[in-house]
Amino acid sequence: MRELAGKTAFVTGGASGIGFALGAAFAQAGMKVMLADIETGALASAVKSLHDFGPNIRGVACDVADPLSVERAAKASYEAFGNVHVVCNNAGVAAAGGIDNISLDNWRWVLDVNLMGVLHGIRSFLPHIRAHGEGGHIVNTASMAGMNSGLGFSPYVASKFAVVGMSEGLATQLKPFGIGVTVLCPGFVRTGIGESGRNRPQRYGATQTPDPASPAGLLLAQLAERLQSGLDPADVAARVLAAIREDELYVFTHPEMRGELEERFAAIMAAMDKVAAR
C-alpha cells in the first residue's frame, strides 16, 4: 500500500505506547484512524490529542480478548469511516512467568490478549478487507521475545512466538489477494506494558506480583529499567509505516540484538546438521 492518505486504519491498544504512536503516524499520513482500547479514560485523551490532525480520528472501547467486543469495534469502524484498509493488532500485556508458582490465570490472560486478540482482529477484519477489494495491510505486534526465548519460560514469550508464526503463515496466504502482512518485533520500547495489570479484567483473578528477591522479581525489575530507557514509540511507528508502504514482513528495531538471534539459529542448524549426519 504505497498511498495511505484517505485510507482507514484500525489500531488496538491505541490509547498509549506503540498503539498511540501508530495512530498518530497514520493521522499525520492523512489517514482516518479508529483507536481501540480497553482503557476508556486514556482512550478519550488519546483521541482528543490527535484532533489537530483533523476530524477523522475516533475511539472505540474494545477488549481484544473478547471476540464480540472486537466485532463491535469493527462495526463501529465501518459505520464511522466505511472501508478499513490497515488493521494493527497491537494490544499486548505482560505478566510474571518463570518456573516458580506457575499461574494459570496469568497464562490465560496473556494468551487471550496477546495471541487470541490478534486472531480476533484478523477474524473480524479480514473478510471485510478481502470483500472491498481495495487492498490492505495487517500489522501484528509481536516482540523480539517472539524470536528469542531470552525472557525464559513465560506466557509473554509463548504468545509472541505464536504471533510470529501466525503472521508468517498469513502473509503467504494473503499475498495473492494483494493484502500485505507485517509482524512487528521490537526490542525495548518506552511503553507502559510493565504496568499492564492495571487493565486486567476480574475474570483473570488478581494481579500477582512476584517476590522482588525471586528470579522472576529480579527479572521484572531489570526489564522495567530497560523499558524506561527504551526506544521512542514514534520511531517504531515510523518503521511500521515504511514497512506497510514497502510490503515488508518483518520489522525489527534493535539491530544490536542480532547476536542473540544468530546464537539461536546456530543451535537450530547444528541440530539439523547432527541429524543429517546420521
Ordered per-residue pLDDT tens for the chain, 278 residues: 789 999 999 999 999 999 999 999 999 999 999 999 999 999 999 999 999 887 899 999 999 999 999 999 999 999 999 999 999 999 999 998 888 889 999 999 999 999 999 999 999 999 999 999 999 999 999 999 999 988 899 999 999 999 999 999 999 999 999 999 999 999 999 998 888 899 999 999 987 776 666 666 666 666 667 677 689 999 999 999 999 999 999 999 999 999 999 999 999 999 999 999 98
82: Cβ contacts below 8 Å, ≥ 6 apart: 8
pLDDT number for residue 33? 98
Query: Which SS3 state, helix, strand or coil, does residue 47 take?
Result: helix
Domain total in the chain: 1
Domain annotation covers residue 167: yes
The active-site residue out of 78, 156, 204, 250 is: 156
Domain that holds residue 63: 8-276
128: Cβ contacts below 8 Å, ≥ 6 apart: 74, 78, 83, 84
CA dist., res. 145 & res. 257, Å (int): 11
Q: How far lies 74's CA from each of 34, 129, 206, in Å?
A: 9, 11, 30
For the entire predicted model, the pTM comes to 0.94
Judged on CB neighbours under 10 Å (0-12, 13-18, 19+), 181 is: buried
Domain annotation covers residue 51: yes
pLDDT number for residue 191? 94
Query: Which SS3 state, helix, strand or coil, does residue 133 take?
Result: coil
> Cα dihedral angle (17, 21, 27, 28), rounded to 10 degrees?
160
260: Cβ contacts below 8 Å, ≥ 6 apart: 144, 148, 150
Query: Which SS3 state, helix, strand or coil, does residue 116 take?
Result: helix
Cβ–Cβ < 8 Å for 119, 74: no
Q: How far lies 114's CA from each of 12, 32, 54, 57, 68, in Å?
A: 11, 25, 31, 25, 16
Active site residue 250: no
How do strand 32-37 and strand 8-12 relate by DSSP bridges?
parallel
pLDDT number for residue 226? 66
List the CATH number of the domain containing 265: 3.40.50.720
Give the residue ranges of DSSP H helices in the chain: 17-28, 40-49, 67-81, 104-111, 117-132, 155-174, 215-228, 233-246, 258-276
Domain annotation covers residue 2: no
Query: Which SS3 state, helix, strand or coil, does residue 129 take?
Result: helix
Domain annotation covers residue 1: no
Number of other residues whose CB lies within 10 A of the CB of residue 105: 15
Domain annotation covers residue 3: no
Cβ–Cβ < 8 Å for 139, 86: yes
Domain annotation covers residue 48: yes
